[in-house]
Amino acid sequence: MHPTLTERVAARLRDVWAACWAAGSMLTVVPWPAAPESLPPERRARSLACYPAIGLGLGLGLWAFARVASILLGPTMAGWLLAPLLALLTGGFHLDGLMDAADGLFGGHTPEERLRIMRDERVGAFGVTAALVVFGTKMAALGTGVPWQALLLAPMWARWAAVWAVVRYPYAREQGLGHGLKAYSRPRDLAFATGFAVVVSLLLAPGWAFGLITLLLVHLFVYGLGERVPGLTGDLYGALIEIVETVLWVLAHSPLLW
């Protein structure tokens, strides 16, 4: 017996919710109302399509906090607190990836050694320096005020960058958190994520410029890696998110974007 239209729609909505839950639980520490059944890797990879939506949600949270904190503490202090708030909302997940990536890329001498260092739980001088530079730059950019659209667009496009990287570029390991995403990723996941980000950007005109800058940053990031590693890793995805987010907030101060 074939499923009815209502049953098909309900099944699709369950799939969408499961994908969004998987994306939200991976990218944030925000409690979700209900967890779906245990997702196999191929279904968990569908969460890639929801990454920009999660980024937009984080941006909305930052915007709402900034509105309230500006009244209570003033706009400058409110802006300074946005970077720590984002780190709390994400559990420092991407910042941890940035530190591991910096230690591996600058501390190793061969591709294999760089990958090995990235897996080391200890943080070295390169990692600490990278975190301080990125976090400090974010605080400076946000503390001096950015247009409200930038609060929404930067987190969204930064997570879109990770989707592009997962789908378009090879993975360096045969295991790891990002391996399942890469193994079961589909071009349609990237297409859906891109469509969502583009529509939101057009509604928040001139947000389209953020998309073009993000695409350029992804290519520069991968080109900069060169042959230092045989492919991308989960740590490098996190580093990419942090770098794109930071650069977009810095460039948001340019009158050329507005």
From residue 51, give the alpha-carbon distance in Å to each of 16, 21, 101, 143, 230. Answer: 12, 10, 21, 26, 25
Residue 181 lies in a domain: yes
Residue 2 lies in a domain: no
For 1-41, the pLDDT digits (tens) are 567 767 666 766 777 777 788 888 889 998 876 555 566 77
Q: How many domains does one find in the chain? A: 1
Residue 21 lies in a domain: no
Residue 97 lies in a domain: yes
**Residue 163, both tokens:** 């989707």
For 99-135, the pLDDT digits (tens) are 999 999 999 999 999 999 999 989 999 999 999 999 9
Q: How confident is the model at residue 257 (pLDDT cuts 50, 70, 90)?
A: confident
For 129-180, the pLDDT digits (tens) are 999 999 999 999 999 999 999 999 999 999 999 999 999 999 998 877 778 8
Residue 15 lies in a domain: no
In terms of C-beta distances under 8 Å and separation of at least 24 residues, what long-range contacts does 121-128 make, across chains too?
123/99, 126/102, 127/98, 127/99, 127/100, 127/102, 127/103, 128/99
Residue 34 lies in a domain: no
> Average model confidence (pLDDT) for the chain?
91
Residue 45 pLDDT: 79
Phi and psi dihedrals of 185, rounded to 5?
A: -70, 150
Q: Which residue has the higher pLDDT, 51 or 34?
A: 51
Residue 24 lies in a domain: no
Residue 63 lies in a domain: yes
Residue 37 pLDDT: 53
Residue 227 pLDDT: 87
Phi and psi dihedrals of 232, rounded to 5?
A: -90, 165
| Structural domain span for residue 224 | 47-257
The pTM (predicted TM-score) of the whole model is 0.93
pLDDT at 204 over 70: yes
Q: pLDDT exceeding 70 applies to what percent of the chain?
A: 93
